[in-house]
């Protein structure tokens, strides 16, 4: 289990109450968190690493906008938090552009190679996609994501934006404590691949906290990207190196797969929760899970239940089970999701119908997914058992990085990038210094399922940046890392803000729950009496510390325009403004 900061262990137990502040009027003051919110007027950035936040802040102070700052920080994170993310992974982003006053959503996730057919997996005598190794690798999307963001919204060239990342890769950086712990846990995985071991295990071990780590090979790859843009990664020397490595390992990615990769600008999904418009990414990722949960929970008097009470946690858990039953049945590449599925699953009548299935006195072992009728607008619950693919429970999920930035002009970006598992697939491509992700593990091999693996298809994804608007203007930009945790954590953060009136730091730092398979993980701030009450309703309670990911967020005071930043002490990060 990753090491938790002492401040979190000592302070988070107090996170059981909130003020009666009305959201959208003025943020609540500092209440019970281990740190105060950061504040600024000209800009704000929150990331999981202080060095990345500092790099992004410098861009803002030098006249760059929020998108320039975000990509700069994302580049640094791809170097200094290699356990969680890198240029061999995927990226999603939601952007509010001040000039057009519109939201834009970018899906920069990669697709399966042309050789990734069900028949190929059957030929290899596999009944599921491996969680690690060469068969879990899909085309990486991060570099294309950076290119798209800067081309559409940025003011700085990629070469300039990547300068801090190149410097840290070439000259080295001190490894932060939580990253060091995650690195140590991945030692066995890295040691199984010679290229990964020679890159990330200097002296045949993981670097310890405070030691300086260099990745000169990655620095050279980043320099190629800085010189030649995204073409270097998808059509140039890096693409050739990745393709050659995949061929040598009998993998499923070739040069054509890399050359044909493109990111997609898509329409975000949204629902209104008590007057606030919550925006999430559409499939192939799980943004609808948060929105479906909020629709269901909107019918309860959440505030009256009390924060982290047994009633509250029970309702959240049951709503999550319903949303995950639908996720399991229907989430896939958006080209494979049944027609009108999202419209059905995010409708208020559907939420009202599913809410009636929740027994507040008893936990259910599971719920059936929706029946998507092609002849009626009325959704209903399925009469057949739900598919067996519900969680990624038991897989090596690792975590991810989330970050957000805002500038004084009104531009806001919510960005997430990841390798999926710790160091992704555990494979480093040749001499590139690039760890390749294992996002292909999100596919299944179930015939006829929307998420069945296929050439050129995106797998079920977990990455979800989020943004909340009030009266058409950004109010909160936030995200919570951690695989299956993300959707259910997003719902809790929104309720912390809207129902319990917390400020942005409190909302992200407050003790959380995470439903995991048959277990309900809770943090130490949730008291023994609440745990006993949940167990009496049939929940199996386990220690959730270390499993709740990490939050970053920015709240924009609608009255003053002041930017409030929050950064989770569950990570090594920093929110900082000016």
Q: What percent of the chain has pLDDT over 70?
A: 90
**How many domains does the chain divide into?**
2
**Are residues 374 and 346 both part of a single domain?**
yes
Residue-wise pLDDT for 316-349, tens only, equals 999 999 999 999 999 999 999 998 999 999 999 9
**Are residues 66 and 132 both part of a single domain?**
yes
Tell me whether residue 256 is in a domain.
Answer: yes
DSSP 440: G
pLDDT of residue 374: 52
Give the separation between CA 115 and CA 455, rounded to whole angstroms: 6
Angle at 471 between CA 469 and CA 474, to 5 degrees: 30
Tell me whether residue 220 is in a domain.
Answer: yes
Instruction: Write the CB contacts of 154 (distance below 8 Å, at least 6 apart in sequence).
Output: 64, 65, 67, 68, 71, 161
pLDDT category of residue 1 using cuts at 50, 70 and 90 = very low
Instruction: Write the CB contacts of 448 (distance below 8 Å, at least 6 apart in sequence).
Output: none
Residue-wise pLDDT for 258-305, tens only, equals 999 999 999 999 999 999 999 999 999 999 999 999 999 999 999 999
**Are residues 348 and 436 both part of a single domain?**
no
Angle at 515 between CA 24 and CA 438, to 5 degrees: 100
**Are residues 55 and 25 both part of a single domain?**
yes
Q: What is the CATH number of the domain that holds 344?
A: 1.10.246.130
Tell me whether residue 279 is in a domain.
Answer: no
Span between the terminal Cα atoms of the chain, in Å = 35
Give the separation between CA 274 and CA 413, rounded to whole angstroms: 23
Tell me whether residue 276 is in a domain.
Answer: no
pLDDT category of residue 32 using cuts at 50, 70 and 90 = low
- 414 with 465: CB under 8 angstroms? yes
Choose the final residue of a domain: 381, 413, 442: 381
Torsion angle of C-alpha atoms 523, 525, 527, 531, degrees rounded to 10: -20
CB count within 10 Å of CB 114 equals: 15
Tell me whether residue 333 is in a domain.
Answer: yes
Q: Which domain, by its residues, includes 22?
A: 6-265+394-577
Q: What is the CATH number of the domain that holds 187?
A: 3.60.20.40
**Are residues 547 and 447 both part of a single domain?**
yes
**Are residues 506 and 538 both part of a single domain?**
yes
Active-site entry in 72, 83, 199, 400: 400
pLDDT of residue 399: 67
Question: Positive or negative CA dihedral for 509, 510, 511, 514?
Answer: negative
Give the separation between CA 312 and CA 326, rounded to whole angstroms: 22
Least Cα distance to 499 among 319, 291, 359, 308 occurs for 308
**Are residues 69 and 165 both part of a single domain?**
yes
Residue-wise pLDDT for 457-486, tens only, equals 999 999 999 999 999 999 999 999 988 999
**Are residues 182 and 219 both part of a single domain?**
yes
What pairing do the DSSP bridges indicate for beta strands 412-418 and 90-97?
antiparallel
Which stretch of DSSP H or E encloses residue 389? none
**Are residues 301 and 169 both part of a single domain?**
no
Which stretch of DSSP H or E encloses residue 198? helix 194-200
**Are residues 172 and 84 both part of a single domain?**
yes
Give the separation between CA 265 and CA 272, rounded to whole angstroms: 22
400 is catalytic: yes
Choose the final residue of a domain: 381, 414, 442: 381
Least Cα distance to 404 among 468, 462, 461 occurs for 468
Examine the pLDDT at 226 and tell me if it is beyond 80.
yes
Q: How far is CA 164 from CA 172, 216, 249, 412, 438, in A?
A: 11, 14, 33, 22, 27
Tell me whether residue 186 is in a domain.
Answer: yes
Tell me whether residue 386 is in a domain.
Answer: no
DSSP 453: -
């Amino acid at each position: 289990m990753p090491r938790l900061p002492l401040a979190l262990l000592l302070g988070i137990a107090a996170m059981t109450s909130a003020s009666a502040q009305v959201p959208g009027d003025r943020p609540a003051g500092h209440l019970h968190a281990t740190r105060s919110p950061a504040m600024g007027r000209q800009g704000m950035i929150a990331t999981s690493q202080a060095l990345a936040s500092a790099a992004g802040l410098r861009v803002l102070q030098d006249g760059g906008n929020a998108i320039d700052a975000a990509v700069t920080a994302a580049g640094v994170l791809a170097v200094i938090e290699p356990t969680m993310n890198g240029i061999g992974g995927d990226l999603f982003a939601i952007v509010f552009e001040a000039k057009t006053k519109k939201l834009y959503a970018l899906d920069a996730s990669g697709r399966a190679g042309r050789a990734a057919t069900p028949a190929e997996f059957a030929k290899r005598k596999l009944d599921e996609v491996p969680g690690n190794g060469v068969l879990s690798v899909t085309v990486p999307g991060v570099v294309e994501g950076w290119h798209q963001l800067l081309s559409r919204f940025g003011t700085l060239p990629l070469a300039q934006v990547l300068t801090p990342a190149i410097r840290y890769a070439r000259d080295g950086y001190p490894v932060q404590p939580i990253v060091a712990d995650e690195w140590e846990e991945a030692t066995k995985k890295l040691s199984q691949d010679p290229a990964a071991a020679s890159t990330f295990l200097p002296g045949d071990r993981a670097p310890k906290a405070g030691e300086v780590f260099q990745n000169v090979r990655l620095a050279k790859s980043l320099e190629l990207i800085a010189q030649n843009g995204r073409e270097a990664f998808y059509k140039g020397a890096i693409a050739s190196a990745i393709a050659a490595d995949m061929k040598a390992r009998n993998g499923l990615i070739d040069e054509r797969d890399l050359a044909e990769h493109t990111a997609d600008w898509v329409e975000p999904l949204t629902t209104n929760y008590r007057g606030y418009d919550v925006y999430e990414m559409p499939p192939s990722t799980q943004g609808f899970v948060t929105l479906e949960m909020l629709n269901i929970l909107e019918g309860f008097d959440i505030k009256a239940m009390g924060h982290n009470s047994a009633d509250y946690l029970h309702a959240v858990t049951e709503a999550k089970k319903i949303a995950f039953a639908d996720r399991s049945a229907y989430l896939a590449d958006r080209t494979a999701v049944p027609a009108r599925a999202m419209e059905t699953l995010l409708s208020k009548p559907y939420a009202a119908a599913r809410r009636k299935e929740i027994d507040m006195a008893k936990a259910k072992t599971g719920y059936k997914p929706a029946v998507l009728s092609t002849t009626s607008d009325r959704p209903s619950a399925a009469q057949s058992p739900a598919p067996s693919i519900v969680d990624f429970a038991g897989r090596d999920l690792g975590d991810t990085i989330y970050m957000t930035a805002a500038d004084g002009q009104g531009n806001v970006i919510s960005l997430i990038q990841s390798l999926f598992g710790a160091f992704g697939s555990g494979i480093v491509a040749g001499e590139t210094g690039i760890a390749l992700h294992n996002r292909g593990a999100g596919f299944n091999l179930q015939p006829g399922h929307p998420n069945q693996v296929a050439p050129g298809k995106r797998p079920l994804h977990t990455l979800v940046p989020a943004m909340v608007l009030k009266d058409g203007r950004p109010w909160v930009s936030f995200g919570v890392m951690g695989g299956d945790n993300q959707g259910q954590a997003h719902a809790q953060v929104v309720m912390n803000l809207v129902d319990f009136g917390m400020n942005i730091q409190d909302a992200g730092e407050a003790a959380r729950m995470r439903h995991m398979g048959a277990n309900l993980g809770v943090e130490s701030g949730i008291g023994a009496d609440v745990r006993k009450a949940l167990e009496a309703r049939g929940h199996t309670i386990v220690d959730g510390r270390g499993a709740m990911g990490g939050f970053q967020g920015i709240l924009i005071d609608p009255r003053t325009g002041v930017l409030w930043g929050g950064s989770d002490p569950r990570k090594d990060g920093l929110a900082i403004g000016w």
